[in-house]
């Protein structure tokens, strides 16, 4: 009789255990943390990839740019910038948002040039090359600027509504769309190339300062600076994974094939992930 | 004539080459964009030199020529105009006199590698709330200290960020019934709080 009672108890407990709700998971977590690469004294803010698949990182604290390989080995360094923030690689070379001077500086074969701009920036924080010109995030003017061979215009003003910004920090042009890290509205906004608002991402994900972004055919990656996270969205604009391991106030992120590199501003390092 | 010009130049440097050394503590410098934005605003001050900002502690130092006659109120106004709050300002004048307002030295203390401190706004009313919030935070692995201020609603928490993140702390506190900056308590948990603790 006792054995029967015991069997019933085991059966009940087993049934309850099987029906216990699982911890909520986002679907298809495929990015796996590999390692953290120390950058020693570098306080990295921006990261970019050149045509030879070398990485560049901006060191805003020390006004430098570093060219490194994908294992973090420094290949070259460039000095005397004025608070370089986000950077991007384009036809002209490495475009640098120089926050302190309000200029887009282009680094090409160890030479520095200043891009001609018709805008009066107030703390340019992000830049992306496009059709002979540049799109830029204009931090204190709470707007995006566009200056290409064919067009010149601005997008947005200070505010929280769709199409408005509160301290935009990063920008990328991808597949005929403008992606903007709207840092202190804690979201990413997406526009067409004429500056018409199309959609907004991550508004309800409790981001605390969306400082950087990177867009691929499959994903949109958003750095959540204060919470030390990277949010990964799929092509359907759904949250597919949240990365936390190895992240310490990440300011920017880039994906190279199946590898992801996130620059940790506070951690003074790069967190590397692989896609499995 | 050359000697007269040289004398005038040297005299000018003697009279006007003196600097006042300012130190201030600024709240809200969370990221490099904020910190260097503040630096950018201060760079517009005539003759300003040697601006240094420690983002973690919020401490900023710089020198300005004494003949600028920069006051503590001028500094406070400049910080406010840049969108931040100065919690303390002090100046050592070139004549050896010092002035201060607020507390320059009560910044977040530098911490050992892997450790950090954070200030998180947490909703609550009373000492019962205080006990619950602090107990919840301290129960998490990696949290070394937690003090919630009833008046300011700010939780000052020290933690090892390799073991626990700010968002984890906030989620745990929300589960105990208290809204945080990034995490809200479920209605059912909130409704079960004692009446004195219900803040909504």
B180: nearest CA partner in chain A: A206
Residue A275, strand partner residues: A31
| Integer CA distances (angstroms), A167 to A157, A251, B5, B11, B83, in order | 10, 14, 50, 46, 12
Which residue among A61, A140, A209 sits closest to B31, beta carbon to beta carbon?
A209
Chain B contact for A195 (CB, 8 A cutoff)? no
Residue A213 main-chain phi, psi, to 5 deg = -150, 160
Q: Please list, in sequence order, all residues whose beta carbon lies within 8 angstroms of the beta carbon of residue B22, skipping any fewer than 6 positions away.
A: B60, B61, B62, B63, B64, B70, B75, B89, B90, B91
DSSP string for B48-66: -EEEEEETTTTEEEEEEEG
Which residue among A100, A206, A226 sits closest to B30, beta carbon to beta carbon?
A226
Higher-scoring residue by pLDDT: A40, A83: A83
Q: Percent of chain A scored above 90 by pLDDT?
A: 82
Burial of B4 (0-12, 13-18, 19+ CB in 10 A): exposed
Chain A residues with CB-CB distance to B82 below 8 A: none
CB atoms B31 and A265 under 8 Å: yes
A5-52 pLDDT tens trace: 544 444 444 444 433 433 444 556 799 999 999 998 899 999 999 999
Residue A120 lies inside a defined structural domain of this protein:
yes
CB pairs under 8 A between A and B: 65
Fold (CATH) for B115-197: Alpha-Beta Plaits (3.30.70)
CB atoms A139 and B32 under 8 Å: no
pLDDT band at B167 (very low <50, low <70, confident <90, very high): confident
CATH 3.30.70.100 segments of chain B: 18-102, 115-197
Residue A3 lies inside a defined structural domain of this protein:
no
Please give the mean pLDDT across all residues of chain A: 90
Residue A217 lies inside a defined structural domain of this protein:
yes
Which residue among A140, A183, A227 sits closest to B165, beta carbon to beta carbon?
A227
Chain B contact for A60 (CB, 8 A cutoff)? yes
Map A206-240 to HEC letters.
Answer: CCCCEEEEEECCCEEEEEECCCCEEEEEECCCCEE
The count of structural domains within chain A is 1
Residue A101 main-chain phi, psi, to 5 deg = -100, -5
Q: Residue B88's closest CA among B36, B30, B157, B27?
A: B27
Q: Residue A152's closest CA among A107, A195, A181?
A: A195
Which residue among B33, B165, B166 sits closest to A167, beta carbon to beta carbon?
B33
Residue A216 burial (CB count, 10 A):
15
Which residue among B32, B39, B181 sits closest to A265, beta carbon to beta carbon?
B32
- The CATH number that applies at residue A67 is 2.120.10.30
Q: What domain range is A36 assigned to?
A: 25-275
Q: What is the pLDDT of residue A5?
A: 53
B107 vs B127: CA distance, rounded Å: 25
Above 0.90 for ipTM, yes or no? no
User: What is the radius of gyration, based on Cα positions, of chain B?
Assistant: 23
Residue A106 main-chain phi, psi, to 5 deg = -115, 125
Residue A10 lies inside a defined structural domain of this protein:
no
Chain B contact for A36 (CB, 8 A cutoff)? no
Residue A20 lies inside a defined structural domain of this protein:
no
Chain A residues with CB-CB distance to B39 below 8 A: 83, 100
**Number of continuous H segments (helices) and E segments (strands) in chain B:** 6, 8
Chain A residues with CB-CB distance to B56 below 8 A: 266
Q: What is the pLDDT of residue B196?
A: 64
Chain A contact for B40 (CB, 8 A cutoff)? yes
B29-78 pLDDT tens trace: 778 998 898 999 899 999 999 999 988 788 999 999 999 999 999 998 88
pLDDT at residue B110 tops 50: no
Residue to test with chain A: of B28, B29, B30, B31, most A Cβ within 10 A:
B31
CB atoms A227 and B183 under 8 Å: no
CB atoms A226 and B165 under 8 Å: no
CATH, domain range B18-102: 3.30.70.100
**What DSSP state is assigned to residue A6?**
H
Q: Please list, in sequence order, all residues whose beta carbon lies within 8 angstroms of the beta carbon of residue B118, skipping any fewer than 6 positions away.
A: B156, B157, B159, B166, B169
Rounded mean pLDDT, B104-112: 52
């Amino acid at each position: 009789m006792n054995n029967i009672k015991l069997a019933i108890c085991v059966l009940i407990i087993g049934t309850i255990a099987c029906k216990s709700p699982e911890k909520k998971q986002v679907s298809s977590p495929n990015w796996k943390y590999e390692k953290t690469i120390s950058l020693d004294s570098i306080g990295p803010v921006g990261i970019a990839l050149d045509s030879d698949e070398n990485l560049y990182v901006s060191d805003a604290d020390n006004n430098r740019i570093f060219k490194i390989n994908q294992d973090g080995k420094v290949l070259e360094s460039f000095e005397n910038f004025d608070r370089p923030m986000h950077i991007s690689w384009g036809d002209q070379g490495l475009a640098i948002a120089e926050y302190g001077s309000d200029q887009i500086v282009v680094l090409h074969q160890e030479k520095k040039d200043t891009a001609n701009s018709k805008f009066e920036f107030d703390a340019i924080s992000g830049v992306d090359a496009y059709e002979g010109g540049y799109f830029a995030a204009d931090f204190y003017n709470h707007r995006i600027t566009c200056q290409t061979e064919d067009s010149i215009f601005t997008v947005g003003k200070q505010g929280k509504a769709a199409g408005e910004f509160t301290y935009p920090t990063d920008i990328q042009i991808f597949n005929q769309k403008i992606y903007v890290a709207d840092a202190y509205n804690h979201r990413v906004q997406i526009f067409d190339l004429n500056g018409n608002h199309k959609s907004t991402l991550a508004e309800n994900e409790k981001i605390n300062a969306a400082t950087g972004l990177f867009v691929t055919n499959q994903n949109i990656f958003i750095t959540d600076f204060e919470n030390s996270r990277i949010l990964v969205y799929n092509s359907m604009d759904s949250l597919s994974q949240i990365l936390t391991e190895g992240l310490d106030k990440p300011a920017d992120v880039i994906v190279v094939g199946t590898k992801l590199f996130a620059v940790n501003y506070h951690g003074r390092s790069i967190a590397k992930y692989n896609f499995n | 004539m050359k000697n007269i010009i040289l004398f005038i130049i040297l005299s000018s440097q003697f009279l006007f080459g003196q600097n006042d050394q300012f130190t201030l503590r600024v709240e809200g410098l969370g990221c490099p964009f904020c910190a260097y934005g503040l630096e950018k605003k201060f760079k517009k001050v005539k003759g300003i030199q040697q601006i240094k900002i420690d983002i973690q502690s919020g401490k900023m130092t710089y020198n300005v020529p004494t003949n600028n006659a920069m006051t503590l109120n001028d500094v406070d106004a400049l910080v406010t105009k840049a969108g931040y709050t100065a919690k303390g300002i002090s100046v050592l004048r070139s004549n050896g006199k010092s002035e201060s307002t607020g507390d320059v030295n009560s910044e977040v203390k530098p911490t050992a590698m892997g450790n950090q401190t954070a200030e998180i706004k947490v909703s609550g009313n009373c000492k019962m709330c205080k006990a619950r919030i602090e107990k919840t935070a301290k129960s998490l692995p990696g949290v070394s200290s937690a003090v919630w201020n009833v008046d300011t609603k700010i939780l000052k928490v020290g933690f090892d960020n390799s073991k626990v993140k700010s968002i984890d702390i906030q989620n745990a506190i929300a589960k105990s019934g208290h809204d945080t900056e990034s995490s809200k308590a479920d209605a059912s948990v909130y409704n079960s709080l004692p009446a004195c603790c219900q803040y909504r």
